[in-house]
Structures are given as C-alpha cells and as structure tokens.
Amino acid sequence: MMETLASLTLYFLQGLSGKDALKLLNHYGSAEKVLADAGNEFPQLRDRCFSGGALSLARQKAEKELALCEKRGIKVLPYLSEDYPQLLREENIADAPPVLFYSGKCALQRRRMLSIVGTRQMTDYGKDFIERFMADLARLRPDLLIVSGLAYGVDICAHRAALKNGLETLAVLAHGLDRVYPSLHRHTANEMVEHGGLLTEYPMGSTPERIHFVARNRIVAGMSAGTLVVESAAHGGGLITADLAFGYAREVMAVPGRVGDAYSEGCLRLVQQQKASLVTSAEDVLNVLGWKPEEPAKVSQPTLFPVYTAAQEKLLELLSSAETMSLDELVRATDMSIAQISDDLFTLEDMGVVRRVPGNRYRSVSL
C-alpha cells in the first residue's frame, strides 16, 4: 500500500512527466525510495518538481485518489508492481504510464493478448469478418485476451464479439473510471468488468479529451503481443496504433479489403509498406504470433516423462484436486506471486498438461 501511495504521489507531482517518472523509478527501484531521496540524484528534476510544497500537495492528491479508488473497487497498478502488464514494462516502451487504474477480473500478466483496432465507420464487411474471426479464435485459443478501446465501430464490435464467444476482453479508456464514454456502450462496459476489464492511465474525474484518445493508443499497442487492424481509411486512430505497435517491435496484422474501398485503404497501405502481415483468418493471426491452435479435440499429449519444477508440481497438484481453479485461487493456495504462477501456467500449457478455459480458469488436461 505504501508503494502504491508513493507511486500515486509521483504521478501527481506537478511538472514531472511520465518519462521522467519512469527514469526515477528505474533508477531507484521503487517510488518510496524516490520520495525518500526527493530525487536528489537528479538535480534538475529535484529543483523543478520536488521543491517547495509540491511534494506535500501531490501526496494529498494521491491520498484522495487512493481513497476514491478503494471506495469504487478500482485497483491502482504502479509501474513496478507485479500486476502491471508485463509487455508495457519492456525497455523499448519509454513512454509507458507510471501508474494504471484497473477495474476488472482478468489477469493482465498473460502473454497472449491481441489488440483489435480500426475505423469508427465500420462496414458490414468489417463486422462480418470480426464475428467470424472471433468465433474461430475462441475455438482455437480460448485463453486470449482481446484488447481495444470501446469506441464506435471496430472497437465495440470486437468487444461484443469476444464476450459473445466467451473470450475475455479489455478496454483501454481515455478518461477516468468514474464514467463510460461513449455512454451508449455502458452495458457492454459493465459486462466487461465481469469478463475482462477496463483500464486507464487517467484518475477519477478525467474527461475524454481528444489528446487522451491519441495517448491511450500507445497502451493498446504496447500491452499486446500483436495488433490487428480490421478496417481503416487512409488516416485514423487505428493506423496510429499500428505504427506504435510496429515501433514497439510488436506484430502488426491487417485484414485486406477490396482495392478502392475507402475503409480498406489504410490496411492495404500497411501491408504495402511492409509494416503489417496480411491475414484473412484466425489461423493466420495465430500463425503470425506463433501461438499454436488448441482445438478441444486435439489436445496435445503430455511428455512421457516430463520434468517439472517444484512450483509447477504444486500447481499441478492443486489443479488435479479441483475441476477448475482461477488464477486468484491458485495465488491464495500458494505462496507464489501472480507473475510466477502466470509464467508456470504458460509453460504447463505448452507442455500439454494444463488447459485454460473461459473465465480465466485452469484445469488439468487429465480431467
């Protein structure tokens, strides 16, 4: 709790940019240590941000924000916490948010996340593709988390198709979690809190500003292993997200459309510029990402004489004694961290002895 409060204090420190906050966090190793030293090892930042009553004012704002989050059941995810999305902490994302605010039940440490973006003026072609694609994806890889932005068009279609097919889905928002924008998507957002989540870098009371929508694209691109552009005009937010993902060394994929169609132009250009792989199916996407399809009728057989770590043996023992278990239940039953359990479950899945099922739950394949 103290590290969370310290991280929020840094977040509210006037004049301290997100990039500078990350510089301090990576140097000191914790927000508490940054505040204890008042940034003395960085004189320019110290003089600009830590002088006078700035630190005290930031602390007051942090305490107020933390109280509001606790009241509403919102989790504060500091940059250095185990709950923070792992891919966002990679070295090539220098502008990752120092703090995230999260409402939901899905684990954000998983490796298999797919962002789906595109135009707000989606055509019937794009809608039909998303619905068929999501049904196939849920059959082939039910452990995926679908990430988008809750906007009109491709975003909301992807969220709803994911929910319809039992896939968890996460929306990255451009405002505080005390509101939903657009309000017409409130019902879907409420459903996502139970079967995915809502994520933002903005505190309570933050309104949906144009600059926020542009900024949130880096989170959509950075937290996922791949970004799929379904439909896009020559310019638009989907292309911004795709360019960011390309710059972060993520896989970018685009669905082709008919030459000359306005909302196919952006996708075709990405492919032409060799920034995106051309994909036409769920199988194509899994192939680009290197994620093996996992057909229910084709469960991979366990290794004849597998070698497990002590932690993996403990997880297998727990899963063998129950029909299914959630990540939270496994954490409570062990002394392991969420990050360690996520990594071990990922390995056990690849070994063919554990399967992830809808609802972010796991079971032994022997059941």
DSSP state for residue 267 in the 8-state scheme = H
Kindly report the CATH number assigned to the domain that includes residue 343. Answer: 1.10.10.10
Say if residue 148's pLDDT is above 80: yes
CA angle 203, 152, 231 (to 5 degrees): 120
Contact 147, 106 (CB under 8 A): no
Specify if 294 maps to a domain.
Answer: no
Residues 213 and 330 in one domain: no
Residues 220 and 249 in one domain: yes
Count of domains for the chain: 3
The C-alpha atoms of residue 325 and residue 94 are separated, in whole angstroms, by 36
**Per-residue model confidence (pLDDT) at position 341:** 84
**Per-residue model confidence (pLDDT) at position 44:** 85
Kindly report the CATH number assigned to the domain that includes residue 251. Answer: 3.40.50.450
Residue ranges making up the domain that contains 276: 113-289
Residues 207 and 355 in one domain: no
User: What is Dmax (Cα atoms) for the chain?
Assistant: 66
Q: Is 102 helix (H, G, I), strand (E, B) or coil?
A: strand
Residues 121 and 244 in one domain: yes
Residues 157 and 274 in one domain: yes
Residues 309 and 337 in one domain: yes
**Per-residue model confidence (pLDDT) at position 219:** 97
161-207, pLDDT tens digit by residue? Answer: 999 999 999 999 999 999 999 999 999 999 999 999 999 999 999 99
Contact 22, 98 (CB under 8 A): yes
Given pLDDT bands bounded at 50, 70 and 90, which one contains residue 367? very low
Pairing of strands 145-148, 251-254: unpaired
**Per-residue model confidence (pLDDT) at position 213:** 93
Residues 123 and 249 in one domain: yes
221-246, pLDDT tens digit by residue? Answer: 999 999 999 999 988 889 999 999 99
The two three-digit tokens of residue 148, written as one number: 């988008």
Contact 311, 336 (CB under 8 A): yes
Residues 97 and 130 in one domain: no
Residues 139 and 247 in one domain: yes
Specify if 208 maps to a domain.
Answer: yes
The C-alpha atoms of residue 285 and residue 272 are separated, in whole angstroms, by 18
The C-alpha atoms of residue 42 and residue 38 are separated, in whole angstroms, by 9
DSSP state for residue 12 in the 8-state scheme = T
**Per-residue model confidence (pLDDT) at position 253:** 97
**Per-residue model confidence (pLDDT) at position 300:** 46
